[in-house]
Structure 1
Amino acid sequence: MEGVEVRHGVAGVRRLWQASHTLLVFPIVLILVITVVDQLVPADIHLGPLLVTAPAFTASFAGPRLTGLIGFLAVAAQAYIGWHFGMLFTRNVLVQILALAVLSALIVFFCVVRERHERQLDQVRAVAQAAQHGLLWPLPERMGRLRIACLYLAAEDEAQIGGDLYAATRIVGGVRVMIGDVRGKGLSAIGEAALLLGAFREAAHRHSTLPTLAAALEQSATRYLADFEPADEAGERFATALLLEVPDEDHTARIVSCGHPPPLLLSPGDALTVPSLHPAPPLGIGGTGPEGYTIDVIPFEPGDTLLLYTDGVIEARDADGGFYPLETRAARWSQSGPESLLRHIQRDLRVHTRGHLEDDAALIVLRREPDDHRGRHHGRLIHASGFGHNSATG
């Protein structure tokens, strides 16, 4: 897998290098055209100062070395024009040559600064990607009887992680899934998200029922907030969560909601159902024990699809302030596979919000398969950083 990534990286660099050399033709032609035309126009018209456009244009697609080369050619062209007219050592031509050399040097300097900043940004992105994989592990494409696809949309530009979270794990006789939303967005919510994910992965195998699992997550969130919650935010830090359990043999889904939006159930024939749940308070607020959580059981037949989401999806607004109509749009694509459904929603959500989300958003699609698919094949996270800057892949 690493070898494939390296080959893709080398191929990308090679394509970028070839594209830069192709574009290099334009500033060279520009220098030639200005030089030739300057010799053809009347003597009182001087086009030499326009040569500075060549290195300026080159800086838009090339690095400091190629920009410096074009700047040198521009200065040489200016010197040739002065020599052609027998004015090379006049004060006016020397000043023009010096000014062009200084401007070219400044352009090269800004190229060096830009490349340094790009390298720093690449390092930040690499750290963010590592944190992304450490925090949000890509869910398997199949787990038990389920086909799974997931999508994460970060509201902040250049951020790849935030306060929305999800996880899935195999238990004896079924699968457990959690999707949640920490109050806040972006980098400030990462600590609580990491806590809940770690607590779920550890506790999902230890507790036989969803209420006891929810109570364990509540205890973890309460302890964390007691130790790290700022005094001026007391009582304001919490997380909504939806816990889902899908048995292998029973065609149902068991749900416990901790203040989280209910999932959408898509059935063959374009039927859409919004289950009626009995939500408990969000995690980190009430200190509720197992008795405070209600299990809601819904039918989940082979061929059915469950769409889990965070409120960043349904609260996304258009230019007129209207919320995104997830139910209507999801029903339109109910016959799509998990990956295709998420691609449809992402594209439609981008159009609805004009490429800018106000809050992080996450979605999980669970399709119950009729056959016994027990293989565990890790899939790719469909991720969009900065939302409008990337497209989903299935």
Structure 2
Amino acid sequence: MHVLRRLRMHCGLYGRRDPVLLSPVLLTLVIGLLAVFTPQDVPFTRLLPAAPALAASVWSVRATLTLGVVCLLPVIGFALAFSDMSALYTAGAIGAVTLAAAYASHLRLQREHTLAQVRAVADATQEVLLRPVPRRIRNLEIATLYLAAAPQARVGGDFYAAADTAHGLRLILGDVRGKGLPAVGVSAAVLGSFHEAAYDAPDLGRLARRLDTSLARYNVDVPAPDGSERFATAVIVEIPPTGTQVSVLSCGHPPAVLVHRNTTRSIEAAAPSPPINLAELVGSEYHVQRIPFAPGDLLLLYTDGVTETRDDQGVFFPLTAWTRATDTTSPPAVLELLHQALLRHSNGRLTDDIACVAIRNTPRQEPW
């Protein structure tokens, strides 16, 4: 028992009930009990090398070696006491497997350390790119959601940002063409330009032109490996400090959803505006819409990963209908419910990055 207690301490198992971490100890106990309570001609001890081999996948080098010694000593003692040569062969196998398992544990820990560093860098990159958006600015309540299609991903081609300017709150949410690290670079170029231009551009049209110019320069400085033209779709929103209207500019992006009193509708662009970095190809006219945004209204911005989420039959997620059936306009609650609904609709298999921003014009009488 003292040896098992030391093993648990080496592996950090006290206070933890993860059966995977305990599996090498349990395997050792099961094989040991079988060896004791079965006839001697049934050599269950030959299975003992499996215990340190299993420990290498979940334990440290020291703990793996300790378990190997725990398995090795009784077998050597039995072999010497009864002059059993087969037991000595088993002891040799345990020793060899233990050394190999310890080396495998060392390699695993090195990879885990490297992966932890990579994740830390990715987290820092995400914080730089997707700066935290305040939960509240004046009478506006704001919530954000970012879901990566890859379970271990931290950054991607979807982006959002907010700036509290003299013109009011300006937000951008968009989706870069492509995936992976090249898409992250394009996102960084767009967001860097937005954080600078949002404060001095007199209107959303000129803000969009600044973003277009910046991304065009980035394309020249960092050409795509395949020679393709990088671009991004985006929706830019301006909510003035006072008033009950919101300005929306959609640069080739899916329409925002507005919950206004008892109605829910998509804000379809009355006239098309070019995606960012495609103004020279499809025209440089930007069309801004102004829509009512009364106290209690909710505006939902999203990337196409939401509406292109499919179920097993290939049916797209019905965002507008889902929003209409949702009985809350609290931004954090709406995004949490949306996250759950997307996972249910896709059976937990999201195939694209997803970014959402929900903004609610709160009634002034609400206490905060």
What is the TM-score of this pair, normalised by structure 1? 0.83
Q: Does 1:217 align with 2:211?
A: yes
> What CA deviation, in whole Å up to 9, does each residue of 1:267-314 have, x standing for no partner?
344x31112313311111123899711110111111111110011111
Q: Does 1:245 align with 2:241?
A: no
Relative to structure 1, is the Cα distance of residues 334 and 340 closer, same or farther in structure 2, using a 3 angstrom cutoff?
same
Please name the residue that 2:265 is paired with: 273
Pairing of 1:368-379 with structure 2 (within 5 A): 368-371=361-364
Aligned-pair CA distance for 1:45: 1.4
Report if the CA contact (8 A) 1:215-1:289 is conserved.
no
1:257 corresponds to which of 250, 254, 260: 250
Relative to structure 1, is the Cα distance of residues 329 and 80 closer, same or farther in structure 2, using a 3 angstrom cutoff?
farther
Pairing of 1:30-179 with structure 2 (within 5 A): 30-83=27-80, 86-87=82-83, 90-179=84-173
Please name the residue that 1:331 is paired with: 324
Relative contact order, higher structure (CA 8 A, sep 6+): 1
Aligned-pair CA distance for 1:228: 2.5
Report if the CA contact (8 A) 2:148-2:155 is conserved.
yes
Relative to structure 1, is the Cα distance of residues 38 and 143 closer, same or farther in structure 2, using a 3 angstrom cutoff?
same
Q: Could you tell me which amino acid in structure 2 is paired with residue 275 of structure 1?
A: I
* Cα distance in 2 between the residues matched to 1:256 and 1:316: 24
Relative to structure 1, is the Cα distance of residues 302 and 108 closer, same or farther in structure 2, using a 3 angstrom cutoff?
same
Relative to structure 1, is the Cα distance of residues 213 and 58 closer, same or farther in structure 2, using a 3 angstrom cutoff?
same
Aligned residue pair count: 356
* Cα distance in 1 between the residues matched to 2:62 and 2:99: 11
Q: Could you tell me which amino acid in structure 2 is paired with residue 319 of structure 1?
A: D
Report if the CA contact (8 A) 1:159-1:187 is conserved.
no
Which has the higher mean CA deviation after the structures are superposed, 54-63 or 191-200?
A: 54-63
Aligned-pair CA distance for 1:321: 2.0
* Cα distance in 2 between the residues matched to 1:23 and 1:125: 23
Report if the CA contact (8 A) 1:222-1:284 is conserved.
yes
Please name the residue that 2:16 is paired with: 19
* Cα distance in 2 between the residues matched to 1:21 and 1:312: 35
SS at the partner of 1:215? helix
* Cα distance in 2 between the residues matched to 1:298 and 1:108: 66
Aligned-pair CA distance for 1:210: 1.1
Q: Does 1:206 align with 2:200?
A: yes
Relative to structure 1, is the Cα distance of residues 260 and 219 closer, same or farther in structure 2, using a 3 angstrom cutoff?
same
SS at the partner of 1:114? helix
Structure 2: stretches of 5+ with no match in the other structure: 1-10
Which has the higher mean CA deviation after the structures are superposed, 116-125 or 152-161?
A: 152-161
> What CA deviation, in whole Å up to 9, does each residue of 1:145-192 have, x standing for no partner?
211111111223422111111111111252111111110123220111
Report if the CA contact (8 A) 1:51-1:78 is conserved.
no
SS at the partner of 1:212? helix
Aligned-pair CA distance for 1:352: 2.3
Q: Does 1:318 align with 2:315?
A: no
Structure 1: stretches of 5+ with no match in the other structure: 1-13, 376-394
Relative to structure 1, is the Cα distance of residues 29 and 290 closer, same or farther in structure 2, using a 3 angstrom cutoff?
closer
